[in-house]
């Protein structure tokens, strides 16, 4: 199941990483080294073995429906690299097609 | 002032609480030592002198007013820079988060402050805690205090180096696959990875949520016990926090180890473990037998699958956790972008270093359509088998002893572009995270080059007191923790 450079570009796109050609060339054999390790797992008989997502049981529960303080909007916005303080939001490039 | 920096945290807290020395005097001694030594070691990314002085002054004011400032009164503590500190930059040693200032504290920070600790700065790490040498930091080089040409280990290398160099008596790290125990071994300190869920992860920047656990570095068992009493215990802000109170580890970690059953899992001594490391572990075993322990060999047959299982599970979780860094809400962002996709792709491409990209790619691949069953689901099943190996082992023995690392510290640059070789340095520590059990690395002497050996003890879930008791018995019978690097 070795990856080709095109596969690496495709995975990069899924992961939202705009990889350069040099990176793809460098990363492809490194990723294949690791994937070759993964293949070893196929030798393990796991029929009937449950999959474990957490080592201890994690139970999702609802907390009491009580209003507690959260971070003030201005404090949260202060972390943003580009914000519109007047509208009170984070600025992103245009999402919908149409006039800017 | 030099003698102050040789005090343990337990001694400092006791002296400050009794009014023998002020918290500000303690702080000044450590700040002087950091100014002298850290230019050579590079443990800290930032030293927060002003905030530390305010905290120390507040402790002294409480003493003057007759109020108990807490168990860690006046103890300077360093924090790995992947734990959120309100008003203080938290970078994860990444260009992507350079300049990010969190608006809240991690639970561990709040608990330390409430116990009178003085947070003195943030330490270097491999970017987003991904690595084994600190060389993946985008923000600086950290050197091993025992030999400045060697790595301190990673990913919590800055915290391990800071404790080894006596820049602080205690530092916090995080351990996802060995990131506390491996640098503790390389730097000759004690490093504890607690049971999963023992210490709150709230405010710890997530790498692999089902494996991440915060824990301490220190030079004595007392100091590990002291700080764990403060850090442990349920936190409603972390849904994976265990519903337990903090255990009384200081009291419970004393006593003899007569009749203690120690297991040697043979698979941990397979090819790749250097002969000197193997001998160092066996010398520890001999000492424990002298102290009354009973030793037996056993098999943990799925050990050989730990590395592939880990390097599917951890990157899969990382690829999901790190999806949040898209340049919108915090951190750096790429300029001149055309769309939201373009903004995310360029921000991430420019912000993440090579190891973080490798892990995001591997994780995305393992979770992608067509490979999920073959890789991710299979790895989660193998994880069950690895945990069952531990359950079966602990039916026969109380603790397991293994090397912490296959070799002593390697050279800076030696493995930095060979990701697989780098990952093999964590081969002995990955299983504890997959199984959720606690592990500790303790100093076990020095090799021919004067580099420290580390030995790992593993126990069942919630056996921290026992691990500390065994560590104490061994370290009391040797003088390793009295030795410090010449800097």
Q: Which of B349, B381, B413 is the last residue of a domain?
A: B381
Domain housing B320: 304-381
Residue B398 lies in a domain: no
Q: Same structural domain for residues B236 and B350? A: no
Residues of chain B in contact with residue A76, where contact means CB-CB under 8 angstroms, are 103, 329
Residue B482 lies in a domain: no
Say if residue B404 is preceded by a cis peptide, omega within 30 of 0: no
- Flag whether residue B358 sits within 8 Å of chain A, measured between CB atoms: yes
Q: Same structural domain for residues B312 and B181? A: no
Which candidate from A20, A38, A44 shows the least CB-CB separation from B375? A38
Q: Same structural domain for residues B242 and B315? A: no
Q: What is the CATH number of the domain that holds B66?
A: 3.90.1300.10
Residue B290 lies in a domain: no
Residue A99 has what pLDDT? Answer: 57
Q: Same structural domain for residues B205 and B346? A: no
Residue B396 has what pLDDT? Answer: 98
Residue A94 has what pLDDT? Answer: 84
3-state DSSP of B442-474: EEEEECCCCCEEEEEEECCCCCHHHHHHHHHHH
Residue B468 lies in a domain: no
Q: For the residues of B100-139, what is the DSSP string, one character each?
A: ---SS--HHHHHHHHTT-EEEEEE--SGGG--SSSTT-SS
Q: What is the pLDDT of residues B144-157, one digit of tens each?
A: 999 999 999 999 99
Q: Dihedral, CA atoms, A21, A26, A27, A32, nearest 10 degrees?
A: 130
Residues of chain B in contact with residue A13, where contact means CB-CB under 8 angstroms, are 345
Residues of chain B in contact with residue A71, where contact means CB-CB under 8 angstroms, are 103-104
Q: Same structural domain for residues B187 and B52? A: yes
A 27-46 residues with CB < 8 A to B: 27, 30-31, 33-35, 37-38, 40-42, 44, 46
Q: Which of B246, B272, B290 is the last residue of a domain?
A: B246
Residue B1 has what pLDDT? Answer: 40
Contact B116, B24 (CB under 8 A): no
Name the residues of B annotated as catalytic: 80, 155, 179
Q: Same structural domain for residues B58 and B189? A: yes
Residue B405 lies in a domain: no
From first CA to last CA, the distance across chain B in angstroms is 16
Residue B424 lies in a domain: no
Phi, psi of B77 (to 5 degrees): -135, 135
Verify whether the Cβ–Cβ distance B387 to A53 is below 8 Å: no
- Flag whether residue A83 sits within 8 Å of chain B, measured between CB atoms: no
Phi, psi of A27 (to 5 degrees): -75, -30
Q: Same structural domain for residues B177 and B105? A: yes
Which candidate from A8, A37, A78 shows the least CB-CB separation from B361? A8
Q: Same structural domain for residues B83 and B155? A: yes
What chain B residue is nearest to A38 in terms of C-alpha separation?
B308
Q: Same structural domain for residues B220 and B108? A: yes
Contact B367, B322 (CB under 8 A): no
Q: How far is CA B320 from CA B138, B376, B478, in A?
A: 22, 13, 45
Give pLDDT < 70 ranges for chain B.
Answer: 1-2
With 60 as the cut, is the pLDDT of residue A100 above it? no
Residue B116 lies in a domain: yes
Verify whether the Cβ–Cβ distance B339 to A3 is below 8 Å: no
Phi, psi of B192 (to 5 degrees): -115, 125
Q: Same structural domain for residues B317 and B230? A: no
Q: Which of B202, B217, B246 is the last residue of a domain?
A: B246
Contacts of B145 (CB under 8 A, 6+ apart): B41, B152, B161, B164, B165, B187, B485, B487
Q: Same structural domain for residues B17 and B122? A: yes
- Flag whether residue A97 sits within 8 Å of chain B, measured between CB atoms: no
From first CA to last CA, the distance across chain A in angstroms is 45
* Domain count within chain B: 2
Residue B80 lies in a domain: yes
Q: Same structural domain for residues B15 and B127? A: yes
Contact B199, B106 (CB under 8 A): no
- Residue B411 CA to residue B430 CA, distance in Å, equals 22
- The single-letter DSSP state of residue A72 is -
B205 CA: distance to closest CA in chain A (Å): 16
């Amino acid at each position: 199941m070795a990856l080709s450079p095109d596969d690496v570009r495709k995975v990069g796109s899924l992961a939202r990483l705009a990889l350069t050609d040099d990176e793809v060339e460098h990363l492809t054999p490194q990723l294949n080294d690791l994937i070759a390790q993964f293949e070893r797992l196929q030798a393990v008989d796991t029929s009937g073995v449950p999959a474990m997502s957490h080592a201890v049981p994690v139970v999702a529960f609802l907390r009491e429906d009580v209003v507690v303080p959260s971070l003030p909007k201005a404090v949260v916005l202060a972390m943003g690299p580009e914000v519109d303080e007047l509208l009170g939001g984070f600025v992103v490039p245009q999402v919908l097609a149409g006039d800017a | 002032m030099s003698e102050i920096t040789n005090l343990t945290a337990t001694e400092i807290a006791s002296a400050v609480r009794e009014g023998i020395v002020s918290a500000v005097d303690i702080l000044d001694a450590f700040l002087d030592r950091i100014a002298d030594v850290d230019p050579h070691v590079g443990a800290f990314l930032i030293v927060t002198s002003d905030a530390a002085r305010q905290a120390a002054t507040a402790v002294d004011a409480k003493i003057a007013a007759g109020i108990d400032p807490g168990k860690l009164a006046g103890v300077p503590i360093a924090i790995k820079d992947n734990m959120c500190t309100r008003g203080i930059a938290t970078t994860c040693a990444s260009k992507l988060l350079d300049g990010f200032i969190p608006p809240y504290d991690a639970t561990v920070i709040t608990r330390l402050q409430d116990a009178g600790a003085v947070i003195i700065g943030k330490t270097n790490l491999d970017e987003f805690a991904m690595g084994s040498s600190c060389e993946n930091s985008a923000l600086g080089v950290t050197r091993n205090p025992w030999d400045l040409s060697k790595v301190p280990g990673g990913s919590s290398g800055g915290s391990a180096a800071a404790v080894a160099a006596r820049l602080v008596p205690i530092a916090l790290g995080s351990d996802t696959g060995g990131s506390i125990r491996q640098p503790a071994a390389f730097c000759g300190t004690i490093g504890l990875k607690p049971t999963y869920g023992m210490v709150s992860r709230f405010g710890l920047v997530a790498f692999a949520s089902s494996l991440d656990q915060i824990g301490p570095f220190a030079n004595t068992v007392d100091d590990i016990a002291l700080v764990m009493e403060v850090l442990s215990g349920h936190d409603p802000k972390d849904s994976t926090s265990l519903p337990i109170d903090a255990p009384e580890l200081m009291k419970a970690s004393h006593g003899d180890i007569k009749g203690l059953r120690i297991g040697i899992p043979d698979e941990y001594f397979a090819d790749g473990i250097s002969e000197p490391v193997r001998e160092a572990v066996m010398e520890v075993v001999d000492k424990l037998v002298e102290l009354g322990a009973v030793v037996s060999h056993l098999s943990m047959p799925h050990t050989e699958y730990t590395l592939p299982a880990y390097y599917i599970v951890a990157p899969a979780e990382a690829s999901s956790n790190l999806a949040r860094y898209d340049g919108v809400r915090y951190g750096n962002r790429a300029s001149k972008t055309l769309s939201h996709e373009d903004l995310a792709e360029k921000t991430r491409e420019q912000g993440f270093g090579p190891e973080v990209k490798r892990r995001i790619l591997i994780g995305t691949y393992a979770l992608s359509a067509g490979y999920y069953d073959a890789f991710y689901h299979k790895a989660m099943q193998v994880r069950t088998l690895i945990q069952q190996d531990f359950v079966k082992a602990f039916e026969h023995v109380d603790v397991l002893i293994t090397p912490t690392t296959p070799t002593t510290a390697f050279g800076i640059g030696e493995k930095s572009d060979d990701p697989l070789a780098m990952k093999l340095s964590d081969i002995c520590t990955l299983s504890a995270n997959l199984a959720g059990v606690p592990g500790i690395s303790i100093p076990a002497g020095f090799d021919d080059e004067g580099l420290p050996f580390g030995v790992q003890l593993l126990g069942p879930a919630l056996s921290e007191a026992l691990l500390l008791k065994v560590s104490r018995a061994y370290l009391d019978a040797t003088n390793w923790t009295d030795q410090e690097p010449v800097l």
